Structure 1
Amino acid sequence: MTTLCLASASPRRLALLQQIGYSPLSVSTAIDETPLPGEEPAAQALRLATAKAGAAAREQPAALILAADTIVSVDGKAFGKPRDFPSAKGMLEALGGRWHTVHTAVAVTRSGRNAQCLSTSRVQMRPLDAREIAAYWASGEPADKAGAYAIQGLGALFITALEGSYSGVMGLPLFETGQLLSTFGCPPPFLHGSS
């Protein structure tokens, strides 16, 4: 039986895979996530997910590797994880009161075979005042989230509308992930009774 490895230390991605029945081995990868000059947010997400999968495949060559990357963008500007409070404040101010785009790329690799897909969603966030931003930062939630918010956590209080994939905005689009894993002979476990 093939081992499924999630190339991520994200507890959210692990929980999402477990939600649909998988029991992956979680492996952390370290790659350079610096955007390339002129790189579009969607292309950046695809490149980083593919790089994470490749890095994990070098560590676990016999495994089926799944990796993902999420980029939040507004007006073509990509927002990754905030470096500090001023960074988070700038992101939340830019996102507040308008629609933004969330690109989550998923990459799967095994034995030299690679495939990727991209989930793109639109999210509308209400305007946030300085007190709310400071309190949200103090909660600790925004620190490791693309765009400095978590739709599945306290950040849900700021989201007024969503067009697309809720799980994709969380960091792993489940429809696309299930489809991609199925093409590698690893459909959701409930469909064949094992993981």
Structure 2
Amino acid sequence: MDHAEALLIGGRAGVGKTTVGWEVSALLRSAAVAHAIIDGDFMGQVHPAPEGDPHRAEITESNLTAVWANFARLGYRRLLYTNTLSVLPQAAGMFARALGGGVRLTRVLLTASDATARERLVGRERGSELERELEGSIRKARLLDQGAPEGTVRVATDGRPVVDIAREVVAATGWASVTPR
């Protein structure tokens, strides 16, 4: 494989991106599929935001480029990347620049109802961020629903075991033989 391949797992807060990402990684490991995993939320977490980069896109891309260069130097060509908005068309340029031209993107949008996302966020958030997360989750769910490009695989997470969701996600990549239930 000459070019990199990236599995982008996006979705609103509370949909299960991180949990599904780790389960996808476990399935890939069990199938002996070499890959790297990055939680994109950590690529731009600086405060305050750099001047001129209020959405942290520049620092995120710079960090992704540096981290991917280390993985690529060791021979990795597949990246599993989780981040809320990573499936949107405007992110494609960042992946092409960071992972190299010709990168093949597989976009998976995890979905959940407002009630499911709320239940998960209430169970997860322990500090002062709950209300902000709830409001942002609803807003981003609508943005993702409208903005995800054609060809994005949508996977519902409501009431489903994480291993079943992960099997469906892995099947979308073609990286390993797994059987979705």
The two structures share one fold, judged by TM-score above 0.5? no
User: Taking structure 2 as the reference length, what is the TM-score of the superposition?
Assistant: 0.37
- Structure with the larger helix share: 2
- Structure with the larger strand share: 1
Which structure has the larger Rg?
1
User: Taking structure 1 as the reference length, what is the TM-score of the superposition?
Assistant: 0.35
Instruction: Identify the structure with bigger relative contact order (alpha carbons < 8 Å, sequence gap 6+).
Output: 2
